[in-house]
């Protein structure tokens, strides 16, 4: 009986440890997107800032307030919870896999911004 309880305790601890590791990996993966992105001169948006909070991703266009970005099925793609519902797709360098820019589909237009410090 004692060995059965020990096995159950070890199994529970492994499950908790594995879950914590998965959460950390998820939180770390969204950090790759964090930073400031600059749009081309004349764009309706000048800067887009990506931040992370508790493993969630947020985006803020200029100083209009931040909105949560919800992961989509396509890799590196998120949808904003803003009233515009823009879709943000992050672009990675083919060799280094570092995030270098983003593309924003908003109200029938597509805007591109380069990451300030990739």
Q: Where are the alpha helices (DSSP H) in 1-118?
A: 2-31
Encode the chain (118 residues) as per-residue pLDDT tens digits: 444 333 333 444 333 343 433 333 355 589 999 999 999 999 999 999 999 999 999 999 998 899 999 999 999 999 999 988 899 999 999 999 999 999 999 999 999 999 998 7
Domain architecture of the chain: domains with CATH:
32-115 (2.40.128.50)
Chain-centroid distance of CA 50 in Å reads 8
Contact indicator for 111, 103 with CB cutoff of 8 Å: yes
CA 56 to CA 70: how far, in whole Å? 8
Using CB atoms within 10 Å of the CB of residue 59, give its burial: 0 to 12 exposed, 13 to 18 middle, 19+ buried. buried
Residue 75: both structure tokens together: 């890799």
Prediction pTM value: 0.74
């Amino acid at each position: 009986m004692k060995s059965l309880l020990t096995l159950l305790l070890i199994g529970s601890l492994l499950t908790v440890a594995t879950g914590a590791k998965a959460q950390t990996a998820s939180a770390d993966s969204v950090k790759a997107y964090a930073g400031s992105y600059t749009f081309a001169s004349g764009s309706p948006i000048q800067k887009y800032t990506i931040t992370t909070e508790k493993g969630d991703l947020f985006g803020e266009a200029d100083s209009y307030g931040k909105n949560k970005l919800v992961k989509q099925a396509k890799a590196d793609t998120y949808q904003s919870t803003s009233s515009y519902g823009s879709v943000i797709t992050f672009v990675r360098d083919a060799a280094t896999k570092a995030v270098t820019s983003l593309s924003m589909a908003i109200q029938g237009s597509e805007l591109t911004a380069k990451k300030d410090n990739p």
